[in-house]
């Protein structure tokens, strides 16, 4: 396995420009720095049919969302409820705006991007509570926006993949309409961080062990939260009766082993999951479509899987 030249270029540029690691900053600084960095290597000026920012009500206050409709337009479109990555501490609708626009256009379906509460201001389990609330709101209300409430999927990258898996588990356990599909992009599934890939890839590929510990320190309230399935869905008692999933991993990502373990357990316990590894890639690559060609390949694969699920 060889690091992809484009991924290596991204890492080298950060070193050459002496970009400070996020874990050396306080949370406020890291949030601002990530927003700036996210705009540098994403696709630029992606057109969209329509985009609307609004808030959905939640038990802990309003939840900001952004609804994208594709350039192709149309009525009664299916919906992807998207949860952005960023370690449950950084990231926003804006950091993943280009990605959501691209997905909506390529899929010819709507995307609802959720700005859930994050640490350290709002510790676990605020994020999964908001994400589930936004999903439930979509099920109950999205038809008033001219969209198809019977065809709703969930998806997200990294922390967003974690939250997509958790929302699917919560929907199952609470007996509400399940998502038709889960698009889990290099998801964090086990906060223990004790896999072989965590050991082998702890340094040098953007998502370092120190950064992951920094995220956990700003997100989790105590060590006991590590074993809570809402933080570590791999710790759920059962992964049966879940929506089908596409799980994508990167070869140089410490999260890859726990994502594969989630896929294995889903299939073993009667759910259906497929796994694709992008062997030369690093964590976060799908949001770097302006610099990494395989980001667009991974998006195309995810979109095709969602389209197939929406057709069934």
Could you give the residue numbers annotated as active site? 158, 253, 283
Of the candidates 140, 134, 143, 141, which has an alpha carbon nearest to the alpha carbon of residue 116?
Answer: 134
Residue 278 near residue 7 (C-beta atoms within 8 A): no
Pairing between strand 110-114 and 147-157? unpaired
How far apart CA 132 and CA 301 sit, in angstroms, is: 25
Q: What is the dihedral of CA 199, 24, 63, 248, to 10 degrees?
A: -30
Residue carrying the six token digits 């959720």: 114
Report the SS3 class of residue 151: strand
CA distances (Å), origin 289, targets 50, 271, 297, 299: 21, 31, 9, 9
């Amino acid at each position: 396995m060889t690091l992809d030249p484009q991924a290596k270029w991204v890492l080298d540029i950060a070193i050459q420009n002496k970009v400070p690691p996020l874990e050396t900053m306080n949370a406020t600084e890291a949030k601002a720095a990530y927003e700036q960095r996210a705009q540098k290597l994403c696709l630029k000026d992606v057109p969209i049919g329509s985009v609307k920012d609004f808030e959905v009500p939640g038990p802990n206050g309003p939840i900001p969302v952004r609804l994208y409709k594709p350039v192709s337009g149309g009525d009664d479109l299916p919906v992807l409820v998207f949860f952005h990555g960023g370690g449950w501490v950084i990231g926003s609708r804006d950091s993943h705006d280009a990605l959501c626009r691209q997905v909506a256009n390529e899929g010819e379906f709507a995307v609802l991007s959720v700005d859930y509460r994050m640490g350290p201001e709002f510790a676990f389990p605020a994020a999964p509570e908001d994400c589930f609330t936004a999903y439930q709101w979509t099920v109950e209300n999205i038809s008033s926006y001219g969209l198809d409430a019977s065809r709703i999927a969930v998806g997200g990258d990294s922390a967003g993949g974690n939250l997509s898996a958790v929302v699917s588990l919560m929907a199952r356990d609470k007996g509400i309409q399940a998502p038709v599909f889960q698009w889990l992009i290099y998801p964090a599934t086990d906060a223990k961080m004790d896999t072989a890939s965590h050991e082998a890839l702890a340094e040098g590929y953007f998502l370092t062990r120190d950064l992951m510990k920094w995220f956990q320190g700003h997100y989790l309230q105590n060590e006991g939260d590590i074993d809570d399935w809402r933080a570590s869905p791999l710790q759920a008692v059962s992964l049966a009766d879940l929506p089908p999933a596409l799980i994508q991993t990167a070869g140089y990502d410490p999260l890859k082993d726990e994502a594969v373990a989630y896929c294995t357990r889903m299939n073993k316990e009667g759910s259906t999951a497929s796994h694709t590894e992008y062997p030369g890639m690093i964590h976060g690559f799908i949001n770097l479509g302006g610099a990494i060609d395989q980001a667009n390949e991974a998006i195309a694969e995810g979109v095709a899987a969602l389209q197939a699920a929406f057709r069934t």
